[in-house]
Amino acid sequence: MSAVQALKAARDAGIDLTVDGDALVLAAAKVPPPAVLDLLACHKAGIVALLRPTNDGWSGEDWLAFFDERAGIAEFDGGLPRASAEARAFDCCVAEWLNRNPVRASAGYCHGCGGSEHAHDKLLPFGTEQTGHAWLHSRCWSAWHASRKAEAVAALSTFGICMRTSP
């Protein structure tokens, strides 16, 4: 049983859940079944993490909904096997996370190595108009991008969104 399943079980039992700081606040019209309360106690930290909005404005639930939607589109509209559809959905989540958590660096310094621009080693803007640019030496880009991607993967894994390796 995961935090996601515990959350669903609680809602199915008629419990309304909100987060106040680190506390999970329950509201229910009738006394919830003890088994459901035990589940909530057991998964409290995970459920709080799912419900609390993050810096990018999306909660873990929003991320899971986005993942499910992308996986569904790839599987049913794209005709992919489930494992491939989930792999594609994961890539979409990583890209979306990078867009929602942009790096805004001041021009003049490389965001990868912190060095400045040289005549023979120009800084290049990476990113989009929408998210702003990070300035990097071309040789610094791949390491910087890999570390940004690792940041996205780590953030998503806290919501239980993980890279499924195909069997």
Interacting residues with Zn ion (CB under 5 A): 110, 112-113, 115, 137, 140
Nearer to Zn ion, 73 or 124 (CB): 124
Shortest Å, Cβ 145 to Zn ion: 12
Nearer to Zn ion, 115 or 132 (CB): 115
> Which ranges constitute the DSSP H helices of the chain?
3-12, 34-42, 44-51, 60-72, 82-100, 141-157
Nearer to Zn ion, 72 or 115 (CB): 115
Shortest Å, Cβ 126 to Zn ion: 11
Distance CA 14, CA 116 (A): 58
Shortest Å, Cβ 127 to Zn ion: 15
Long-range contacts of 71-80 (CB under 8 A, 24+ apart): none
Nearer to Zn ion, 61 or 117 (CB): 117
Shortest Å, Cβ 137 to Zn ion: 4
Phi, psi of 116 (to 5 degrees): -95, 180
| C-alpha neighbours within 13 Å on the C-beta side of residue 65 | 7
